[in-house]
Copies of this chain bind each other. A is one copy, B any other.
Amino acid sequence: MQLYNFNSGPSILPQEVLDQAAAAIHNFNDTGLSILEIGHRTSHFVEVVTEAQQIIKRLMGLDDAYEVLFLQGGATMQFMQVPMNLLDENGLAAICDNGVWGNKAVKEASIFGPVKVVADTADKKHTYINKQLDIPNNTTYLHITTNNTVEGTQWHQYPQTNALLIGDMSSDIFCRPTNFKQFDLIYAGAQKNMGAAGVTMVVVKKEILGKVNRKIPAILNYQKHIEAGSLLNTPPVFSIYVSLLTLRWIEAQGGLVEMGKRNQEKANLLYHTIDSLPAFYCPIAKEDRSIMNAVFFLTNPALEAPFLTLCKSEGMIGVKGYRTVGGIRVSMYNALPLSSVQAFCDLMKSFAEKN
């Protein structure tokens, strides 16, 4: 049976990335050794890190004011590592709480200094992006979650601020061209658009570091990682390699312009289908809908279970909504082909006709 992988993350990767990753487990770069058996300080692996850093800077259009790091622990680690490096009692973190992830960012930052929630969308169950931000003058940084994987919302134009701008781009990194330079620090777990689980990309403007008065453990200190060329300790070698393969794939396909074109086309098709079928509805404000994760519902809740059963029987994987939200969630990351969305829309139509 053909499978359609709509997983929210870890999620679908390009077939050629999988083929190359598997081949490297047998023989990496003609070394005769597995990628799992090579030293991380060998020239073979240093080249992997360097090339991945270069592609990221190229895709983002960033100059040497920024550094690219490959860390571990995902966004959950960054929720505490960002404030540990940037926030102290004299500062203020302004955080947009537009859903599950922003909310966690608030909790972790509170351990390190004053926090103000400058946007909260709980009033409408996080079905929109609150863009009316009241950012105090003494704000150190504004933190936004650029795409809310769980709730299905996405910032399509980033907020303007005089404070530093921090972006958790875990679930929409490299989904389209955007003004990355607007940000002072961007982080993303790789397991959606840029590889497999186990590595976290952090892109940071160097000049913002070193301002807090706190002893920072080496492993959590961005500055130390920069000084060590992102090889402070044994990095997640294989996950970084899979990210390199995925980054190469993005460039070879036509870069962010092409990713954006494809993702918009997939999203247009899916949202158009949802909106045109009375059996389904999407509660997300149209201007804030995510092109990565579409969250929607059956108009008749009793039909949700039968629809999910049908999806399963037709090989549609990962379409059950997040446990706190319910409904349906269809994730359409870079590697998902348009044909998968077409197949899903056909299934929706056929289900709607019969019910």
Contacts and interface: CB of A to CB of B under 8 A. Distances in A.
A313 to B, nearest CB: 14
A232 B7 contact: no
A219 B77 contact: yes
Q: How many copies does the complex hold?
A: 2
B25 A38 contact: no
Contacts of A108: 217-219
B72 A232 contact: no
A38 B74 CA distance: 17
Interface string A1-23: 10101011111110000100111
Given A73-B72, A234-B197, A39 B8 contact: yes
Contact of A25 (B18, B40, B111): B18
A10 B32 contact: no
A10, A40, A72, A219 interface centre (most CB from chain B within 10 Å): A10
Interface in A256-290: none
Interface string A96-115: 00000000100110010000
A167 B295 CA distance: 46
| Interface size range of chain A in the complex | 35 or more
A198 B72 CA distance: 8
Given A13-B34, A76-B218, 12 more contacts: A5-B33, A10-B38, A10-B40, A21-B36, A72-B236, A74-B233, A80-B218, A104-B218, A108-B218, A111-B215, A198-B199, A239-B239
14 contacts: A1-B32, A3-B32, A10-B38, A13-B34, A13-B37, A36-B242, A39-B318, A108-B217, A111-B217, A191-B237, A196-B237, A197-B235, A197-B238, A236-B239
Interface of A: 1, 3, 5, 7-13, 18, 21-23, 25-26, 32-34, 36-40, 72-77, 79-80, 104, 107-108, 111, 189, 191, 196-199, 215, 217-220, 232-239, 242, 317-318
